[in-house]
Structure 1
Amino acid sequence: MEQSGSGYRLTRNSKPFFIKGGAGLQHFDKLKAAGGNSIRIWTTEYADEVLNAAHQQGLVVMLGLWIKPAREGIDYYDPEALQTQQASIREQILRYRNHPALLMWNVGNEYDIEAPSPKVFQAVNAIAKMIHELDPNHPVTTTILANPNSVDHFINLCSDVDILSINVFAGLDYFPRLLDKHGLTKPYIVTEFGAKGHWEAPYTAWKAPLEQTSTAKAGFILPRYRASIATDTAHCLGGYVFFWGTKYEQTTTWFSLFGAKGEKTATVDLMQYLWTGKYPRNRAPEIGRLRFAGGYGTNNLQPQAGSLQDASVTASDIEGDSLHVVWQVFPDNNLLGRNKKKDIAPEEIPNSIIAAHGLHAMVRVPKKPGPYRLFVTIYDGKGSIATANAPFYSRIKSTD
């Protein structure tokens, strides 16, 4: 890393290096094809495979060094616990410090999510100091949330950490002003950005967050990226779009930039445009709002259990490709504040789609009362998809 005038820049092989990255574990070849240059992972548990695969594609890796947040049982006031954690990280540094795909070390991820003690930041700084002693060739960063208190703790307590990293979604466009307001003088990286988070989204009366369509997600990201990562190049060293691959978080589609068989979404097309100045030759379909049971997700849909309901969606393809449409119903167990199975994708409700005719479907509402989601996926047959879903609550008709 170099300081250039009033700003900073990364260098790799003596050349300026701006991070055009994907946070995830899959489709490294597609990241390279889209103009990306770096992968971010959160732990060294799968580092050998990722580092080698990235190197084969000419990509570099921000390698995560996991530290336990307080909620996982570690006491940051216990010197013995901290020594044990640091000793483990020391072994990881010695193992991977000479890998040709290593870009930098990333100590921890969102350990500030529950307002941690300053002791956590002091521990991060001690780890960074150790890393510099073991590996003077790679910079060190740490990832926190765009939280004013956390930014202050970083500024005051992490003098040995070279770069601040932030995970930020809806606030991507304005958080650089937060950093400036709090007096950050070091460079920063956005280690996760993307669609509006499920914790930021509006939600139904039964606490089901409303997910953006895949088309809306790309439209959401574009102005925010331009207002921050693409603009603040004196201080921002780049960013990682989340999630480069397929991941179940809240739903199977919320952050997944690819379908189950590797089909890309509009956000992948957008990132290629932002990274290279050109969209791919064949772009993902565009999809509109999903209408179901006489309304939209924002209408707190509560159809009668066992009833038949119409569903429809609008979609188009810029190249005029023939579109194939798949409708599905899933339980929606992952409600705000009740995430007992938040990492387990539910199974599809069988026999819920009575008839499907392209952009229209007849849906049987599950007889068991409770929260569900109706999903629609549009395939263009050329390696791209568009997605939308609507939460609804199957209810039993009152006898009053």
Structure 2
Amino acid sequence: MNLARPTVLALLLVFVLVPTVSAHAATAIVKRGDGWQLQVDGKPYLAKGVTFSGSRSADYEKDCARLAALGVNTLRTWGTGTETRVLLDAAHKHGLKVLVGLWLRQGRPGAESDDSFDYLHDSKGMKKQFADTLAQVRAFKDHPAVLAWGIGNEVLLNSPDDASKEAYARFLEQVVREVKKLDPGHPVISVDAWTLGVPWWMKYTPSLDAYGLNVYGGGIHVLPGELQKAGVTKPWLITEFGAQGEWDAPKDANGIPREPDDTQKYDAIVDGWNKALAPYVQEGRCLGLFVFNYSASFDHTGLWLGMMSGTSTRPAWHAVREAYTGQKPATALPAITRITVGEVKREKSGTFAQVQVEAKDAEGTPLDVSFAYNFRGAATRHERDEVVRLQATPSPTPGAWLVRLPAVKGPIKLYTLGKDRAGNLAVATTSVALPSVP
């Protein structure tokens, strides 16, 4: 399940599967014994990927160079836009392929967006989506960086009822067929959360070459077994993956989901690739993985699951490198081992709390500490994802800061951020119940 929608829908996904393909096709999925093999120009290809939101198009070349150095060979996007060709060019220059996303509208407001589309009755809208999708395929199908097409993301998850799911899956089949006619050289997949899309794809969208599955946390160890139980005979990719998501996380005493710590986030990625998926990669059932997400954003989703925060690297950055290359960090990553929030006091000048922090790098050097908050009870989606910096001054007590808290009513998520000299950012979170605003 994806918690964030990129500001610009210009991202791509990777993978391919075609039972029979012409000798001139650049990408194919070829049957091998009881499994499959993804091939590019006739050579085996395993997608070692990340989802890509990027920073700004002017930096795409730098982004692709850095990702290639981590062992990444494929990017996934959710949609196309004015920056798509820039990304494709940058990816190709640095030897990367792209699973190009082709966005289809959500059936109801949900995790993906606040959009809502009626696949049961809006024939005019479906015609427009159909035409727009084919136009994007025509625009990019001959680019050498294209690995495959990823049509739709978690639309079935965000469809209101079975009738709408069936209508969407039938419409998706029409789109898939036409895309494959227009471009027989690149496989076509669709993406949904967990196994929710599987029964609908199997019954109503048989032309898909493979399935794209979004899963987070420990679910990656269970998912392959669930696919076998469902009778899935096509290959699949993990199209989004990271630490346990907010939707699955237990809540603390203030009702705020508990975010995994940095070590747990790191281990989830390395173990997910090396342990959970390795047997199915070897069998030719899993064709690759995309870790969520490469982005420069400083927001709730980015801090929880992202590889970067601004120019700083997060644990997922280093975990991707270890998963894909076996290379561990040269030195231990910085850590925030404890945060303690003192009594919240309201004064004339504002609301304050003393926060005690234990944070250091591998050499025991104190980190550059700062604070921020997120208000999960905000009225709008934008506000619920926003992370706002807080004013803080060192306290006379060693290792403590006097933090000015926001003027909102209800519990907030408090971030303690610690940056080391190498640009690695450690994050620890807790919640604080704020008194009512006068």
Shorter-chain TM-score category? 0.7 to 0.9
Cα gap change, 1:226 to 1:321, in 2 (>3 Å)? same
How many residues of Structure 1 are paired with residues of Structure 2 in the alignment? Answer: 384
Is 1:74 paired with 2:120? no
Q: TM-score, normalised by structure 2?
A: 0.80
Structure 2 counterpart of 1:137: 185
Of 6, 18, 30 in structure 2, the residue corresponding to residue 2 of structure 1 is 30
Return the TM-score normalized by structure 1: 0.87
The CA deviation string for residues 238-296 of structure 1, in whole angstroms up to 9 with x for no partner, is 111001123355355112211212x21222212211111222435532333433238xx
Q: Deviations over 1:174-211 (max 9, x none)?
A: 11111110000000011100021111112245532222
Residue number among 326, 334, 348 corresponding to 1:277 in the alignment: 326
Contact 1:39 1:240 in 2 (8 A): yes
Shift of 1:117: 1.9
Give 5+ residue unaligned stretches, structure 1: 295-302
In the alignment, what sits opposite 2:307? 257
Offset, 1:118: 1.0
Residue number in structure 2 paired with 1:60: 97
Given the superposition, is the C-alpha separation of residues 169 and 274 from structure 1 closer, same or farther in structure 2, using an over 3 Å criterion?
Answer: same
1:214 to 1:357, Cα distance in 2 relative to 1, 3 A:
farther
Answer yes or no: is 1:334 the counterpart of 2:370. Answer: no
1:392 counterpart = 2:428 = no
User: Is 2:245 aligned against 1:197?
Assistant: yes
**Identity over the aligned pairs, expressed in percent?**
26
Displacement after TM superposition at 1:96 (Å): 0.2
Indicate yes or no: 2:258 matched with 1:210.
Answer: yes
Aligned residue in 2 for 1:84:
128
Distance 2:301 2:324 in 1: 28
Aligned to 1:288: 337
Give 5+ residue unaligned stretches, structure 2: 1-28, 55-62, 109-114
Residue in structure 2 matched with residue 48 of structure 1 by the alignment: 85
122-131 or 251-260: which moved more? 251-260
1:348 aligned counterpart, secondary structure: strand
Structure 2 residue identity aligned to 1:159: P
Q: Secondary structure at the match of 1:244?
A: strand
Secondary structure at 1:53 match in 2: helix
Kept after mapping to 2: 8 A contact 1:128/1:140: yes
Q: Report the counterpart of residue 298 of structure 1 in structure 2.
A: none
d(CA) in 2 for partners of 1:304 and 1:128?
Answer: 59
- The question of 1:153 aligning with 2:200 is answered yes
Superposed, which structure 2 residues align to 1:178-197 within 5 Å?
Answer: 178-197=226-245
* Secondary structure of the corresponding residue to residue 137 of structure 1: coil
Distance 1:28 1:75, change over 3 A: same
2-side partners of 1:281 and 1:73: how far apart?
Answer: 47
* Aligned equivalents of 2:397, 2:77: Cα separation in 1: 41
Q: Is the 8 A contact 1:248 1:344 kept in 2?
A: no
Q: Using the TM superposition, name which of 364-373 and 67-76 deviates more.
A: 364-373
> 1:118 maps to what in 2?
166
Q: Structure 1 residues 390, 343: CA separation in 2 closer, same or farther (over 3 Å shift)? A: closer
Contact 2:361 2:367 in 1 (8 A): no
Please, which moves more after superposition, 389-398 or 209-218? Answer: 389-398
Q: Judge which range, 388-397 or 82-91, deviates more.
A: 388-397
Q: Bigger CA drift: 59-68 or 9-18?
A: 9-18
SS in 2 for 1:178: helix
Separation in structure 1 between the aligned mates of residue 211 and residue 398 of structure 2, nearest angstrom = 48
Distance 2:280 2:247 in 1: 26
Q: What is aligned with 1:24? A: 52
Does structure 2 conserve the Cα–Cα contact (< 8 Å) formed by 1:189 and 1:238? yes
Residue aligned with 2:192, SS: strand
Moved more, 8-17 or 102-111: 8-17
CA 1:228–1:222: 2 relative to 1, 3 Å? same
Structure 2: which amino acid aligns with 1:135? D
Secondary structure at the residue paired with 1:199? helix
Name the amino acid aligned to 1:347. V
> What is the CA-CA distance between 1:125 and the residue it aligns to?
1.5
Corresponding residue to 1:106 among 138, 147, 150: 150
1:25 is paired with a residue of what secondary structure?
strand
1:239 aligns with 2:275: no
Is the Cα contact below 8 Å between 1:196 and 1:212 reproduced in 2?
yes
Asked if structure 2 preserves the Cα contact closer than 8 Å seen for 1:354 and 1:364, the reply is no
State which drifts further: 122-131 or 203-212.
203-212
SS of equivalent residue, structure 2 residue 248:
coil
Distance 1:321 1:238, change over 3 A: farther
Give secondary structure in 1 for the equivalent of 2:176: helix
